[in-house]
Amino acid sequence: MFATRAVNSIVAQNVARTALFKNASAVPTGIRAFRATPSTMEQSPDAESELLRQQRLVRPKSPHLTIYQPQLTWLMSGFHRITGCAVGAGFYVGALSYLALPALGYNFDTSAIVASVASLPVVAKVGIKTTVAFPFVFHCLNGVRHLIWDTGRFLTVDGVYKTGYAVLGSSAAITLYLASL
Amino acid sequence: MSAAIRQHAVRGLMRARPMTISRIHTTAAVSQVGTTHAPDRVHGSYHWDVERAASAALVPLMAAQLAVGANPVTDVLLGVVLPVHLHIGFDACITDYYPKHKSPVMNRLMTYTLTTATAGILIGCFQFNMHDVGITEFIARSWTA
């Protein structure tokens, strides 16, 4: 209400400039009508809580992945955790399978695994090696980056980005080398 | 107003349920506001030290793997340090996604599962290093198969 009055008074003081509006002669109608102060309703505490609860259900929630601008910092941090969990889960499954599968009747020692890997087509071998190597190499190099940060070095935006690109580049190079072995 | 927010936050902490269900206007006593757990180096700075020590130890271990190849010392050390590193890493994930104050049951369940699995892989690595070719030789052979 007060904002509308203020806008009206400003336009009244600057009639010449309100030629920008469609109906400059009629000041109130030349301004797109808006309710500056929407009407409020008194609510009971329970109703207020219920309204807030409903608002919370549709509010964007942490970690706000849909609205947070992609940045090298958090993308690499998330990828560090994802690769760590992926390679770790693989190691856990492999080591536990080594213990469990013989009890279930399957042969799971080195010679059996090497034989089954050797029987794969070359395309599959290179593909699997790339898929396994890249998360591992990235996690190792980014881990070194974390350890460097723990010494207090490169803890600036510039340092974080430079070391980040260095990790990305070197992990791509080392992955290509490992996949070629 | 801030007292009401504090009450509400405490409600969320006291009951391990999402805050959407709690009420806003309450008059209950807020006895848990401002409390914290007792400082504990084992779960605090010593944990941090062990985490960084294990991560740092993996660097020369992997270098030794690449340089020397299969070696019982490297393999046995790796079979201890790697499970420790993995356990600490997964434990950090559990702490982040299933904190004790928010989901006590899931936290306890996943921690027990993780501890059991880590014990399993420690045994598995030991058995593999003793009765099979060893971790380094296994990786070398299966990679160049």
- Judged by CB atoms closer than 8 Å, whether chains meet at B55 and A146 is answered as yes
From CA B34, how far away is CA B48, in angstroms rounded?
Answer: 25
Percent of chain A with pLDDT over 70: 81
Q: Which of A149, A155, A135, A9 lies closest to A79 in space, CA to CA?
A: A135
Q: Which residues of A touch B20 (CB under 8 A)?
A: 53, 56-57
Cβ-based neighbour number of residue B106 at 10 Å: 15
Q: Is the pTM of this model over 0.80?
A: no
Nearest CB to B143: which of A48, A129, A150?
A129
Cβ-based neighbour number of residue A76 at 10 Å: 20
Q: CA of A32 to nearest chain B CA: how many angstroms apart?
A: 36
From CA A98, how far away is CA A107, in angstroms rounded?
Answer: 9
CB of B119 within 8 Å of any CB in chain A?
A: no
ipTM: 0.77
Domains and CATH numbers, chain B: 39-144 (1.20.1300.10)
More confident residue, A27 or A95: A95
CB of B123 within 8 Å of any CB in chain A?
A: yes
Q: Which residues of B touch A49 (CB under 8 A)?
A: 23-25
Cβ-based neighbour number of residue B53 at 10 Å: 13
pLDDT digits (tens, 9 = 90+) for B26-68: 544 455 566 778 889 998 999 999 999 999 999 999 999 999 9
pLDDT at A173 > cutoff 80: yes
As given in the structure block, the two tokens for residue A115 are: 């034989």
pLDDT at B91: 97
Q: At what angle do helices A72-104 and A122-150 cross, to 10 degrees?
A: 120
Domain boundaries, chain A: 2-58, 66-180
- Judged by CB atoms closer than 8 Å, whether chains meet at A98 and B117 is answered as no
- HSE-CB at B12 with a 13 A cutoff on CA atoms is 11
pLDDT digits (tens, 9 = 90+) for B84-140: 999 999 999 999 999 988 889 999 999 999 999 999 999 999 999 999 999 999 999
Nearest CB to A117: which of B86, B89, B142?
B142
Q: Of the CATH numbers 1.20.1300.10, 1.10.390.10, 3.30.70.270, 1.10.3110.10, which one belongs to the domain with range A66-180?
A: 1.20.1300.10
Nearest CB to B124: which of A99, A129, A150?
A99
